[in-house]
Amino acid sequence: MKSMNFKKSISLFLGVIFMGMLFPICYANNSTEALKPTFTTQREQHYGVHYLMGHFNPKKMPGFVKIPRKYASRSGMYLREEALDAFIKMRAAARKEGVYLKIRSATRNFSHQKEIWEKKWLGKRQLSDGTNVARDIANPKQKALKILQYSSMPGTSRHHWGTDIDLNSFNNKWFEKGKGLALFQWMNANAAKYGFYRPYTVKNATRPYGYNEEKWHWSYAPLSAPMTQDAQRTLRDHHINGFLGSETAAQIGVVQHYILGVNESCR
C-alpha cells in the first residue's frame, strides 16, 4: 500500500514535469504574438566548437550555397541554404515596395577573419578612425579592445555561421536618411516575418557588451539563435586561439561579452 502511494506520487510528479515541458511548446505554437522568437523548440542539430569558430571552408561545406551574383555586391559569397532562401523571399517583398536589398558580406570563415584581424594587429591596416594599433597602443588587451570596436576576433564572428548578412552599406549614417532610412524602416517592420533580426542593436542597459551598433547586420535567427545557445553551452575563451593576440580573449571574456553580447532576439 505504501509502495503504491509512492509509485502514484512518482508518476504524478513526472506527469507534472512533462506537462510543464509541453506548456512552453504549445504556448509558442498557439501564440500569435510571441514576444520573443522560440527557435529552441525546433532543434534538429547541435553545432560544435569547430563549426561555431568557422573552421571550415564554406565552398565545401554541406548546407552552404553560393549566393547568386544578382543578390550581392560581388560574386563568390556563401550562405546556409535556408538563410539564402529566406533572404530571397524577403528581397522580393521589399522590391515590391521600392526597397532594394543587397548583400555586401555573408559567410567569413576563421582564416578570412584571422587575415583581417592580424593586418590590424600588426598595423598593416589602420582602423577606420585612423588608429594604427601596432604603433599607437602598447597594451595587448587595449589593442584587442580597440580592434574589437570595428572587427570581430577570429572565432567569435556570427559571420562564421552562414546565417548572417551585411546589407547595402557599412555606414550607420547611411541608414539614417533617404533610401537608407527607408530600407532600415522596411527591415524593422518586415524582416522578422522572414526570420531576420539585428544582433548588434544600440548598446544600452539591455545590451551592455559586444560589438558596436551595426544597422547593416542581420541574422537569420531560426538558425543562428540555436547556434548562439550552442556557443553559450560549449564555447569557452580558451578555444579562441590560433591568431596574434589571442591571449587577450580570456582577459576580455570574448565569449561572454562579444559572442553572447547580442540583442535577445538573436540568442
Q: Could you tell me which residues are beta bridge partners of residue 105?
A: 166
Nearest approach, Cβ of 152 to Zn ion (angstroms)? 8
Count the residues of the shown chain that bind Zn ion, applying the rule CB under 5 A: 2
Closest approach of Zn ion to the CB of residue 214, in Å = 6
Nearest-CB residue for Zn ion: 217
Q: How far is the CB of 83 from Zn ion (least distance, A)?
A: 13
By the rule CB under 5 A, 166 interacts with Zn ion: yes
Given a contact cutoff of 8 angstroms between Cβ atoms, the answer to whether 84 and 70 are in contact is no
What kind and span of H or E run contains 117? Answer: helix 110-121
3-state secondary structure of 76: coil
Longest CA–CA span in the chain (Å) reads 81
Q: Considering only CA atoms, which of 195, 193, 173 is closest in space to residue 184?
A: 173
Q: Residue 186, class by beta-carbon neighbours within 10 Å (0-12 exposed, 13-18 middle, 19+ buried)?
A: middle
Q: Is residue 83 at the binding interface for Zn ion, with CB under 5 A as the rule?
A: no
Q: Pick out residues in 208-247 that bind Zn ion (CB under 5 A).
A: 217
- In angstroms, what is the minimal distance from the CB of 203 to Zn ion? 16
Q: Which is nearer to Zn ion, 216 or 250 (CB)?
A: 216
| CA–CA separation, 201 and 199 (whole Å) | 6
| C-beta closer to Zn ion: residue 151 or 248 | 151
Tell the smallest beta-carbon distance from residue 166 to Zn ion (Å).
4
Question: CB under 5 A: which stretch of 15-23, 162-170, 239-247, 255-263 binds Zn ion?
Answer: 162-170
99: left (phi over 0), alpha (psi -120 to 50) or beta: beta
Q: Which is nearer to Zn ion, 132 or 169 (CB)?
A: 169
Region near Zn ion per CB under 5 A, out of 7-15, 112-120, 161-169, 244-252: 161-169
Could you list the residues that contact Zn ion (CB under 5 A)? 166, 217
